[in-house]
Structure 1
């Protein structure tokens, strides 16, 4: 099925976080918060531009701690540009992400949909990454999503 291949794969992660949806939503759209929780374990984040409004753009870097040699843009860093396609306060954030890389396996635009749903004792946060570039290993990406959700929980839980 050629159409399915063109759409790329989807990686998803979910976690119940002990915080209200509005608190989590703020952590999704405030640059200092995003720089703190979004990089997975073994990386740190830098926000280079951030305009949190529908249609607003952002630019970030994830920098590997130590000498990894696994970066998508440089030996030890992943730079990416994004746009906020949808912002629904307390409920949903949709981002369109493009990695800066010479590798054609990292080309294309990945769509990240983060949904927030109230549950007993907190909020179910689900992250769905659609059209994941082939150059991003699925196991590594799933671990990265889980790590970012763990970081988000640590950032917002009281």
Structure 2
């Protein structure tokens, strides 16, 4: 079955606000790239069967070589399911020559009301073996921290 990578965080914003940030192009460019990266969305179609293409650029490529080029990771993400305001299911494929980054990774963003906020749990399956579990979970946690900062400042 392969491994499952997971991270979660409680965010001080209602589920509808968090869900909106998951499906807003400008928002994704701000919060989705983990620390040490910046992102640019090249294609955007926010509906089931649609998706987006994101170019993630390492701020210091010497520290973390990219999967697509020396300084970038390019990922095509499809929206497999959108269930407002509780779940977004994505299928992500990295553009890479190295077969250890090949395959389709499924990421499920599950949002649950938690008091005045939202618990966001991200579960990834089918993670390419070239991505270490520790690094991937740290990256997801970093994106969740960015998401919290983004929506909490707007709320």
State the partner residue of 1:84: 79
Match of 2:148 in 1: 153
Aligned to 1:106: 101
The CA deviation at 1:66 is: 2.7
**Long gaps (5+) in structure 2:** none
1:121 to partner: Cα distance: 2.6
Name 1:29's counterpart in structure 2. Answer: 23
- Indicate the residue corresponding to 1:39 in structure 2: 33
2:119 to 100, 119, 124: 124
Superposed CA deviations along residues 10-29 of structure 1, whole A, max 9, x for unmatched, are: 10000000000000001000
Distance 2:54 2:102 in 1: 17
Distance in 1 (CA, whole Å) between partners of 2:51 and 2:35 is 25
5+ residue gaps, structure 1: none
Instruction: Give me the whole-angstrom Cα distance separating, in 2, the residues matched to 1:16 and 1:47.
Output: 26
RMSD: 0.9
Q: Deviations over 1:58-111 (max 9, x none)?
A: 100110003335100000100011110000111000000000000000000000
Runs of 4+ in structure 1 deviating by more than 4 angstroms, as ranges, are none
**Given the two structures, how large is their TM-score scaled by the length of structure 1?**
0.93
